[in-house]
A = this chain, B = another copy of it.
Amino acid sequence: MLNENIYCGCVTEKLLDQTIEINGWIRKIRKMGAITFLDIADRYGIVQVILKNNYHFELTRESVVNIKGKVVLRKNPNKDLATGKIEIVATNITLLSKAKVTPFVVDDNFVAFEDVLLKHRYLDLRRSVVQKKIIFRSKFIHALSNYLIEKDFIHIETPILAKPTPEGARDYLVPTRNGKNMFYALPQSPQIFKQLLMVAGFLKYFQIAKCFRDEDLRADRQPEFTQLDIEMSFIDEDKIMSIVEDLLKTTLKKTMGIALNTPFMRMKYEQAMNFYGSDKPDLRYDLKLVDLTSFFQNSDFNAIKKNIAEKQVIKGFFVNDIIITNSNFEQINKYGIDKGLPSFYFTFKNKKCLFNPLGKKIEKKNLENICQKFNFENGSLIISYGPLEEVNEALGACRIKVNDLYKIANDNNLCFVWIIDWPLFEYNKQEKTFVAAHHPFTSPAKESLATFTTDKVNAKARAYDLVLNGYEIGGGSIRITDFDIQQRMFEAINLTPKQIQAKFGYLLDAFKYGVPPHGGIALGLDRLIMLLTKSSSIKEIIAFPKNSHGIDLMLNAPSQTDPKNLDDLFVKIK
C-alpha cells in the first residue's frame, strides 16, 4: 500500500516499457533544441526525464512536478546512477508547485556560507549528501533501540519539565502560568531519574534522551543534544562496557557493514595523559609521548638544569618520516602554548640531527642519543619541559595539530578506547577545594574505599569514558548506593547537610527504601553520528541545528515576546 508511489530513485530497467507516474523536484534542466532533459529528484535519487515541448509552464529548478511517461532504455547509460540505464519519455507533466530562484544551488558540490544554509535549512536538507546523514541518523538510532529492546531494556521517557538544580548554573529555567516565582528546569541529563528508575526496580533502562545546557556556546556545541542513556542494576563496570561494545558492534554491522573488533582497548586515565597528553586520545595515529628527562641529566642549558633540579620533566614525541616546516611548527607550537607551555622541534635524517633551533644549548649528541635509544631514523621530534601535567597537556595539543596538518590518521579507522581508573576528585584551583570529578554519586574504586577522604589526590573512581578518534562519546560510572560511603563523599566535597538535602534530598530519600547496586552510561549521539558520517560538525547531523551563538537562523529563535505574555508568567525583563 505504501509502495504504490514509484520513487524517482527507484525507476530502473525492471519498469522498462511501462507507463508510470512519478513525483519529484526538478533538479536540473538541459535544453537541446526541441527536447528538454530533466533530472527529477526525490529522497531515493534522480531519474532522467525527456520532454518534447509538451509542457505549458515555465520550467524552473526545484519546482515540484508530476510526470507520466514511458520507461525506455538510454542510449548512453550513466553507470554512476541506479537509474542510469533508463530514462522516462514524458507524455504529461503537471506543475505541482513552482519554485522561485533558490538562494543557493541544491547540489552536493555547491558550497555556500553557513548562515545562508542554516537560514534555508529546508533547502540544504534537500541536498542528497545532507539528507543521507539525517536518514543515517534515523536508521542508526533505531538500530540502537532495537538492540536494547531485544536485550529486554525498557525505554522510559523521563520529564523535560524537571527541577532546577540549586546552583542553577547552565539550567534553562521555564516559568509557568501555574505558579508565581516558580520554575521548571530543562534537564542537563536524566541522571537522577535513571537512578530513581533503578530504585523502582526496572533493572535495565534506556532512553534516547534530549538534554539541555545553557552555557557559553563554543564551536560545535548545541543548547540541546541527544544522548543514549543507559542504567542497569546488579552489574559492574565490566558488564556495562561489554554491553556497549556489543551494542556498537551490532549496530555498526547492521547500519554500515563495519566489523568492529571487541573488546575495545582499555587505558588508564594516567596512561592516556602520559602517553597522549589527553583524556580522550585519538589512537588512529601513534605520536606517543616519551619521557626524555634521563637524556638531559648532564645538560648545561640553564633552563633544562633548573627543570631537572625542580624534578620536572622533559618529554617529546617523534613524527616519523615527516620533516616539519618552520611555518607549520609555528602553528603547532601555538596549540601547546595555549595549553601553557612552548615546545621545540628538531629534525633528523638517518639518525643525524638536521635542525636544532637551540644550537649549543642542547648538544646534537644528546639528540642523536635519543634517536639511537628509540631507534628513530628520519623525521621530527617535538619536545617540551616543565611540570609533568603541563608538559603532557602541551604536547598532547601539539600532537593533535601535527595530525591535522600532516593527515597522519586514516580517516576510515574507528579507534574506540575506554578510559578507566579516573580520579575521583578534581582540584579546583580558584576555590582551592576538591570537587567531584564526575558527579558525587560516582562510586570510589574498591582500593580507594578506605582512603578516599584522606588521600583525595590519589583516590580513584569506578568511572569509564568511551573515546572515539579523539572525541569523548560517552561516560558513566558505578554509583554509590551505600549510605555511609555517600555521607563520606559529601563530606569530602564539603557539602553541608542543608546543601545535601536541597540538591539530592529526594534521591537520598528514595535510597532509604531499598536501592540495588547500579551503574550506567550515556553516549552522546550527536557526536557519535558526526564521527560515523565523517561530518565536520554536529550541525550537519541535526535536522534543524542552531548556529554557534545558539540562534536558529531559520526560525529566528530565540526572539522577543510581547511583555503581556511575560505578565502571565509572573516575570519581566530586567
Q: Which residue of B lies closest to A66 (CB)?
A: B234
- Asked whether A560 lies within 8 Å of B243 as measured between CB atoms, the reply is no
- Give bound CA distance, A28 to B161, whole Å: 36
CB < 8 Å neighbour of A1 from B176, B242, B562: B242
Identical chains bound together, number: 2
- Asked whether B162 lies within 8 Å of A99 as measured between CB atoms, the reply is no
CB < 8 Å neighbour of A126 from B151, B200, B234, B517: B200
CB-defined contacts of A439 to chain B, threshold 8 Å: none
Query: Does A13 reach chain B (CB closer than 8 Å)?
Result: no
Chain A residue total in the interface (Cβ 8 A): 132
Nearest CB of B to A266, in Å:
17
- Give bound CA distance, A252 to B233, whole Å: 30
Interface members, chain A 112-144 (any B CB < 8 Å)? 120-123, 125-126, 131, 134-135, 137-139, 141-142
Query: Does A164 reach chain B (CB closer than 8 Å)?
Result: yes
Nearest CB of B to A11, in Å:
15
Query: Does A557 reach chain B (CB closer than 8 Å)?
Result: yes
CB < 8 Å neighbour of A570 from B167, B570, B573: B573
Q: Which residue of B lies closest to A556 (CB)?
A: B163
A63, A166, A559 — which one has the most chain B CB atoms within 10 A of its CB?
A559
Query: Does A276 reach chain B (CB closer than 8 Å)?
Result: no
Q: A64-B516, A196-B122, A517-B96 are in contact. Are A567 and B574 (CB under 8 A)?
A: yes
Q: Other CB < 8 Å A-B pairs besides A126-B201, A142-B149, 5 of them?
A: A96-B516, A174-B174, A182-B560, A570-B574, A572-B572
Taking Cβ atoms with an 8 Å cutoff, the residues of A that contact B are 1-2, 4-5, 7, 23, 25-26, 41-43, 62-64, 96-100, 102, 120-123, 125-126, 131, 134-135, 137-139, 141-142, 145-146, 149, 151-152, 154-164, 166-169, 171-186, 193, 196-197, 199-204, 210, 212, 214-217, 223-224, 226, 233-235, 239, 242-243, 246, 481, 506, 510-517, 542-544, 546, 549-550, 552, 554-562, 564-574
